[in-house]
Amino acid sequence: MNRRLNVFIRVAGATAMAVAGYGAGAALLAMPQNSLDDVQGTALLRLLFAISFSLFGFGIGYLFTPHLLRPLEGAYQELRDVPPLTLTAAMVGLIIGLVPSALLALPLSFLPKPFGSFLPFIVAVGLAFLGTAVVANNPGVYLGILRSIVGEDRGSMSPSRYILLDTSVIIDGRIADVAETGFIDATLLVPRFVLAELQHIADSSDSLRRNRGRRGLEILNRLQGLDAVDVEIGDEDVKGTHDVDRKLVRLADRLGCPVMTNDYNLNRVAEIEGIRVLNLNELANAVKTIVLPGEIMEVQIIQEGKEQGQGVGYLDDGTMVVVEGGREHQGQALPVTVTRVLQTVAGRMIFAQLGLDSDVRAGR
């Protein structure tokens, strides 16, 4: 508990006890005179008696209020790390559990004593606990069901809709370009353990890792400056593990939200755990230009190819175009005809030849 909050609690507790002490002193003096033989005197004496009770209450409150609130402080420390979505789901689960317990309370109260006296309370506590535990364990699913029941549009923006960002996707940098287009309609959540990993990479003694970490911090700063997307730095943490990937998977399961990553291992683990994964590499491949054999495009030849006479150019989306006979035309932008498209593990390659095909030349 910080010092300012501690002083506030002491003063609040002391004030409350002072008021209570003054009220107790005044009530005591209002009792019949024959029951308080040792208290005699004028109204001034009565006032001093009440003030003394008030001062005594003030001192007791100032000294002992922080100690009396110590259990509440511990509860606050535990609840502070619980995500708002989980707390909301727990409250919904509590209500769901209490509804059937209220319906069962009257029939159970008619049971023979002593069962009719304590069974309604036990059933209420048990159902409330089960409702809270079940719904809070998977908040995204149950709150989604609740939104569909009340008719809320699932596509609408709400504070509970998050996309967890992995370190790799922040360092990659393309997330900022995607977010700038306005296609992301959810809040991008960056847990503090991901931010700590970025800072650790940025402080690395290895120059390559250090540059990657600094790039990630710059991308995160750019994301926070965009109006097209909301970015939050979350205090949520996962106890029991220090592995960032494992923390992300468990946190995504707790929040019921997807993880955005370019990391292959995290991608596989998340899919095994049933977590939805948004992979920017797959997105990049999905939005690349679709070309078919026979189509004509203009490509600038920028370098030699591996085979004799080949030249290599690139489309705007980075797709490699291998042009037969293009070696002698480096630095030139020429019309080429697509002959075939090859999908590889590294991406897509387009093979083409210079000029127009025979059908185009003939005007067909």
- What CATH number is given for 162-285 in this structure? 3.40.50.1010
Whole-number pLDDT of residue 156? 38
Query: Which residue shows structure tokens 């790390």?
Result: 81
- The 10 Å CB-count burial string (b at 16+, else e) for 86-120 is bebbbebbbebbbeebeeeeeebeeeeeeeeeebb
Q: Within the chain, which residues score under 50 in pLDDT?
A: 33-40, 152-160, 357-364
Rounded Cα gap, residues 133 and 102, in angstroms: 19
pLDDT score recorded for residue 157: 36
Check: CB of residue 192 under 8 Å from CB of residue 233: yes
Please tell me whether residue 184 adopts helix, strand or coil conformation.
coil
Mean of pLDDT over the chain: 79
Domain with CATH 3.40.50.1010 in the chain: 162-285
pLDDT of residue 181: 86
pLDDT number for residue 251: 85
Superfamily of domain 296-361: Nucleic acid-binding proteins (2.40.50.140)
Beta sheet of 187-191, edge-to-edge order: 231-234, 187-191, 162-165, 259-261, 277-279
In the sheet with 347-354, reading across from the earlier edge strand, the strands are 296-300, 333-344, 347-354, 320-324, 311-314, 303-304
**How far is residue 273's CA from residue 140's CA, in Å, rounded to a whole number?**
15
Q: What is the pLDDT of residue 364?
A: 41
How far is Cα of residue 110 from the mean position of the Cα atoms in its chain? 48
Token couple for 158: 């709400």
Q: What pLDDT shows up at residue 86?
A: 73
Collapse the DSSP code of 334 into the 3-class scheme (helix H, G, I; strand E, B; otherwise coil) and give the result.
strand
Per-residue confidence (pLDDT) for residue 37, from 0 to 100: 46
Looking at 203-263, list the stretches that DSSP marks H as alpha helix, in order from N- to C-terminal side: 207-224, 244-255
Residue ranges matching CATH 2.40.50.140 in the chain: 296-361
The total of other beta-carbon atoms located within 10 Å of residue 262's CB is: 20
Which residues neighbour 200 within 8 Å (Cβ) at sequence distance 6 or greater?
A: 213
pLDDT of residue 363: 39
Whether the full predicted model's pTM is greater than 0.85, yes or no, is no
